[in-house]
Structure 1
Amino acid sequence: MAFTTTVAICLGVYFLIPVGLYLLVPRDPTINPRKRAIALVLGDIGRSPRMQYHVLSLVETGFLVDFVGYTDTAPLQSITENPDIKVHGIKPAEDLPLPKGLPFIVLAAIKVVYLTKQLFQILRSLKNAEYLLVQNPPSLPTMLVCYVFVTFISRRTRYIIDWHNFGYTVLALKLGSDRNILVRISKWYEHWFCRYAFAHFCVTKAMAEVLVRDFKVNAFRIVPLPDRPAVQFQPLSDDKRADLLATSPIFSGFSSATDKLVVTSTSYTPDEDLTVLLDALSQYDSSSTPERPLPKILTVVTGKGPLQEQFLKDISHRSWNNAQVRTVWLSAEEYPVVIGAADIGVSLHLSTSGWDLPMKVVDMFGCGVPVLAREFPALSELVVSNRNGLVFKTADDLAKQLIDVFTRPELLRSIKRGALVECGNRWSETWRITAGPVFHIPNREDLTEVESSSSSDGEY
């Protein structure tokens, strides 16, 4: 009897020890009872739509999110007004008071050190998050910083790379050669440090194959996650389109009865040759004759970037009767509406790697707008010629396609139907099915309780 009593007491004490520790030992104040994720982009968060969609999807499934990046442009209102999202701004290295005329390699080294220090300071304050989702490119210094952070500072954090492109190919375009020593170092760096990530998202299946073949990434850690339009990109009704065209100053002088509207968006970077568009419009204009008049075209170019001044200068040297170009900068709320008003969209994106895809095409499909897109290897994963758009290589091709879609109504109607089919593929559902398991998010039928408790509870 005494032995039984002793065993019972020992077992009772054994099971009471963890209970006592749980009640008496204070919790680490940095660990939140709700799951936390960090979304990091070494770029302007307002011009990083895919990362914004990631953030919103994480919040919708119960996460608190720290969004880190440059804050030059305001992100979506659904982000700025959400109490479960906290934005942490990075100060651009361009703001440093550096002497002019420094060699590129010296300037680059100073910027890397400056950004590395900032990123470590921000991430240290956010340690113990469950996940760290990082946009690539740029890979320098983010890959190294994230590796050190999850290895030595916040070991419970799982590091995930969202591949939009390859950083070394972007650098090769900037330096004008893929044989430059800096490009080779960048390629080695990207290949080496990407292997330490817990998982990899990538925008195309072709990119996933490159990660396995050339980067030696474990295929089981790669999840192709194609871009899909967010909910704000919707087809415009005829009434809303007519009202927009009649009231917005962007479309002053435009006749919806006779004229055609073309829209393209750009970051004015070297991987988009806008002279192709201008040359095509010149050919279109000269192809209109009294015997065979063509509809007038208004081309609206949205966006901003480093080569914008050169583009405006090029426009000023053109003289057309049947074509006109207007450049605008639109807010995140205005952009989908203007896209939705277009008869046709144009994508001039020419991938530096050949394996990414232009988000602008996804936005256009979300609005049910067919696309004329410049050809590169991975494009067929998004644009299928004569189904949801047309594919061109040269300015001559683009000019011919503009003439065809605006003189052959059956062709425009056909690719319009294809674009409306693409409109049904939405980011939220694709993300939940594809990316959700990486973040250990339960199936939709199990989310009722999570979603009902996802409002702010004052942690920020």
Structure 2
Amino acid sequence: MASSCVELLVLTLLLAPVLLLLLRLLGARIRARQASAARHVVVVVLGDVGRSPRMQYHALSLAKSGFSVTLLGFCHSKPRDELLQSDRIQIVELTELQSLGAGPRVLQYGVKVVFQAVYLLWKLMCTDPAAYIFLQNPPGLPAIAVCWFVGCLCRSKLVIDWHNYGYSIMGLVHGPQHPIVLLAEWYERFFGRLSHLNLCVTDAMREDLAENWRVRAVTLYDKPASFFKETPVDLQHKLFMKLGHMYPPFRSCQEPSDGTTERSAFTERDSRSGAVTHLHGRPALLVSSTSWTEDEDFSILLCALEKFEQLALSGDSLPSLVCVITGKGPLKEHYSHLISQKHFRHVQVCTPWLEAEDYPLLLGSADLGVCLHMSSSGLDLPMKVVDMFGCCLPVCAVNFKCLHELVRHGENGLVFKDAEELAVQLQMLFSNFPDPAGKLNEFRKNLRESEQLRWDESWQCTVLPLVTTK
């Protein structure tokens, strides 16, 4: 018995350093994992990453601030190259459940929600622990509850970026009193209160969240990224020539007679000197962006273009107009068919889907932007206008409750309520185009002089202190 005790004591003394070493290694591993988690952020978009610029900007800003970022979302369209090339950002593609195509609509929606909840939970649990989970809302069903649950398990703080209210968007389709909409509103209100930090896009939304939802949020206005800026005329020409290979409105109607000039519908380049200039008598370039859904009433713009065509035919001093409408969505083919039946003579309509890097160049080359965004809640702002202003592009925007936080009527653009009012504005802005003393140039001058804050500066002042405070 005594010998056994001695042997056990000797064995313990021999193993003690090994056990101590293992404990120290395990402790170091835990501390390293905690330190790694402290510098890791998960960004969740239950939508197309390529069409979620604000969440792309969050990921890039976090990466520039020293965080490693895992970005989860659908990859239907290409994100910005800067995002793809960053060694601090990993994109994890989510799979979207396609429509079942059978059974009641409520059942289809329920199956989709359950699938997304289980699938997102699995993907998040397979991701390294993070200090924060940034979530775009909407869509928040079922993502808010799933991200909150994972945060509880992994000690991650949930940050909700409120772009709008998901239930208000659903209400456009089903009606505000539909049981699904009422359930979605309850869900959004209940789980929205469980977040640790909240960001929102307008002061009006911040006040509504505080008064009606008991959610304290910080306003982070959408700001243009640094690549949204006026496009130099030589890059304009390069873009127009590129687009001209695919879209006739960008092609020149006349070939140059001397053979030494390269010409688009808007610009020409002397092949000997390389100098690029705008064509005399060129068309005006109008740009609008839409998701081709019912919440953005494209028919307003189409009706206004018809009235513009009538005014141009009547001999008014109006230029030809090229209207470029970017985006893709379920109603695009429907409206493209309507456009083709109009047989315009002074208006050409083009509906391209642009590469991410070409979109800022187009905005920086345009003469006027038109925004058709109609807010379902009246509390969000159209990011497309933010991008246009970054390019010093004046805007005509359909009016709603808090648009004044972005568009100042008569200063950096105009607001309208219907097609009649938009048609009058187009007539006024394009009369005697291009007029250096006209309203368009006045608005552009005001935008140049406004010294707009850019996304990186705004994010560092507003968000960075929130995620670096111990």
Fraction of identical pairs, as percent:
38
2:27 aligned partner:
25
Q: Say whether residues 1:228 and 2:223 are aligned partners.
A: yes
> Residue 189 of structure 1: which of 170, 187, 190 is its match?
187
In the alignment, the residues of structure 2 paired with residue 113 and residue 20 of structure 1 have an alpha-carbon distance, to the nearest angstrom, of: 42
Q: How far apart in 1 are the matches of 2:148 and 2:125?
A: 13
Corresponding residue number in structure 2 for 1:244:
239
SS in 2 for 1:55: helix
User: Residues 367 and 423 of structure 1 are in contact (CA less than 8 Å); yes or no, is this contact kept in structure 2?
Assistant: no
- Partner in structure 2 of residue 15 of structure 1: none
Question: 1:85 and 1:32, CA in 2 relative to 1: closer, same or farther beyond 3 A?
Answer: farther
Give runs of aligned pairs for residues 8-23 of structure 1, distance below 5 A.
Answer: none
In structure 2, C-alpha distance between the alignment counterparts of 1:415 and 1:441, rounded to whole Å: 41
The question of whether the paired residues in 2 share the 8 Å contact of 1:355 and 1:377 is answered with: yes
How far apart are residue 149 of structure 1 and its match?
Answer: 1.2
1:226 Cα deviation from its structure 2 partner: 0.3
Deviation at 1:126, TM superposition (A): 2.2
Question: Which of 411, 427, 432 pairs up with 2:439?
Answer: 411
Aligned pairs (5 A) from 1:124-273: 124-151=125-152, 153-155=153-155, 157-175=156-174, 177-217=175-215, 219=216, 222-246=217-241, 248-249=243-244, 250=247, 251-253=250-252, 254-255=265-266, 256-258=279-281, 259-273=283-297
AA in 2 matched with 1:174: V
**One-letter amino acid of the structure 2 residue matched with residue 25 of structure 1:** G
Whole-Å separation in 2 of the counterparts to 1:396 and 1:423 = 33
Q: Report what 1:446 is aligned to.
A: none
Please name the residue that 1:373 is paired with: 397
- Counterpart of 2:3? none
Whole-angstrom CA distance in 2 between matches of 1:267 and 1:178: 22
The Cα of 1:407 is off from its aligned counterpart by 1.3
Mean alpha-carbon deviation: is it higher for 427-436 or for 23-32? 23-32
Q: Is the 8 A contact 2:102 2:108 kept in 1?
A: no
Shift of 1:169: 0.4
1:43 to 34, 47, 55: 47
Match of 2:336, SS? Answer: helix
Unaligned regions of 5+ residues in structure 2, if any?
Answer: 1-19, 253-264, 267-278
| Paired amino acid for 1:88 | V
CA contact (8 A) 2:373 2:382 kept: yes
Partner of 1:328, secondary structure, is coil
Q: Residues 128, 326 of structure 1: CA spacing in aligned structure 2 closer, same or farther, 3 A cutoff?
A: same
CA distance in structure 2 between the partners assigned to 1:273 and 1:263 by the alignment: 15
Q: Please list the CA deviations of residues 90-122 of structure 1 after superposition, one character each: whole Å capped at 9, or x if unmatched.
A: 10011x7x3x33211100111011111111111
* Contact in 2 for aligned 1:357/1:378 (Cα 8 Å): yes
Q: Deviations over 1:318-353 (max 9, x none)?
A: 122211100000111111111111000010000111
Does structure 1 residue 436 correspond to structure 2 residue 460?
no
Cα shift at 1:21 = 6.4
Q: Is the 8 A contact 2:239 2:358 kept in 1?
A: no
**Per the alignment, in what secondary structure is the counterpart of residue 295 of structure 1?**
coil
User: Are the aligned partners of 2:408 and 2:414 in contact in 1 as well (CA < 8 Å)?
Assistant: yes
List per-residue Cα deviations over 1:174-216 (Å, max 9, x = no partner). 22x1011111111111011000101111010101011011111
Instruction: Please tell me whether the aligned partners of residues 140 and 188 of structure 2 are also in contact (alpha carbons under 8 angstroms).
Output: yes
CA distance in 1, matches of 2:125, 2:102: 34
Return the alpha-carbon distance in structure 2 between the equivalents of residues 24 and 163 of structure 1.
Answer: 40
TM-aligned CA distance change 1:150 to 1:299, over 3 Å: same
Tell whether 2:354 aligns with 1:330: yes
Q: How many residues align?
A: 416
- In 2 relative to 1, CA 414–293 (structure 1 residues): closer, same or farther, beyond 3 Å? closer
Q: Any idea what SS the aligned residue of 1:214 has?
A: helix
Aligned to 1:425: 453
Q: Is the 8 A contact 2:317 2:431 kept in 1?
A: no
Q: CA deviation at 1:71?
A: 0.9
Q: CA deviation at 1:420?
A: 2.3
Corresponding residue of 2:257: none
Structure 1: 5+ residue stretches without partners: 1-17, 443-460
Question: Are 1:66 and 1:88, in contact at CA under 8 Å, matched by a contact in 2?
Answer: yes
Q: SS where residue 332 of structure 1 aligns?
A: coil
Q: Tell me, in whole angstroms, the C-alpha distance in 1 between the residues paired with 2:450 and 2:335.
A: 31
Separation in structure 1 between the aligned mates of residue 391 and residue 196 of structure 2, nearest angstrom = 35
TM superposition shift of 1:239: 3.4
Match of 1:4 in 2: none
Structure 2: how far apart are the matches of 1:390 and 1:24?
Answer: 63
* 2:419 aligned to which of 375, 395, 419: 395
Is the CA contact (8 Å cut-off) linking 1:235 and 1:340 kept in structure 2? yes
Q: Secondary structure at the match of 2:402?
A: helix
Q: Secondary structure at 2:376's aligned position in 1?
A: coil
Contact map agreement 1:61 1:441 (CA 8 A) in 2: no
Is 1:382 the equivalent of 2:406? yes
Give the alignment of 1:48-127 within 5 angstroms: 48-94=52-98, 98=100, 100-127=101-128
Superposed displacement of residue 270, structure 1: 1.4
Deviation at 1:428, TM superposition (A): 0.3
Q: Which residue identity does 1:206 align to in structure 2?
A: A
CA distance in 2, matches of 1:186, 1:378: 24
Find the aligned partners of 2:289 and 2:450 in 1 and give their Cα distance. 19
Aligned positions of 1:282-297 closer than 5 A:
282-289=306-313, 291-297=315-321
Aligned-residue CA RMSD (Å): 2.0
Aligned AA for 2:65?
A: T
Deviations 1:18-40 (A, max 9, x none): 99965663413754536000000
Aligned partners of 1:163, 1:78: CA distance in 2, in Å? 24
Of 61-70 and 126-135, deviating more is 126-135
